[in-house]
Amino acid sequence: MSIEINKDARQQAIASLQRYFAKHLDDEIGNMTADSLLDFFIDEIGPLIYNKAVADVQARLQARVLDVDAEVYEEPFQYWKRAARIKKP
């Protein structure tokens, strides 16, 4: 599965890369260089981050599924107990 980002996010990422190079590396890079670098990061490192996020979500969902019985469990045969509480003389 390829990772794709929308046009606006891509432009912001390119601007951020250019700003990073200027501030931390005392170098300026153009749009094409920043765009190519962004493609490299997305292709090379993106899947690692994506897979980690999927694993985190999967673990969280599994934990929630294990808690479903506790969250929605109803004790059976409770009619008479409730009726006795309501009809006390």
Question: Does the pLDDT value for residue 43 go beyond 80?
Answer: yes
| pTM over 0.75, yes/no | no
Question: Does the pLDDT value for residue 79 go beyond 70?
Answer: yes
List the domain boundaries for the chain: 7-86
Q: Is 12 helix (H, G, I), strand (E, B) or coil?
A: helix
The pLDDT assigned to 88 comes to: 60
Burial (CB count <10 Å: 0-12, 13-18, 19+), residue 37: middle
The pLDDT assigned to 36 comes to: 97
Report the distance separating Cα 29 and Cα 84, nearest Å: 79
Calculate helix-pair angle for 7-24, 31-44, nearest 10 degrees: 110
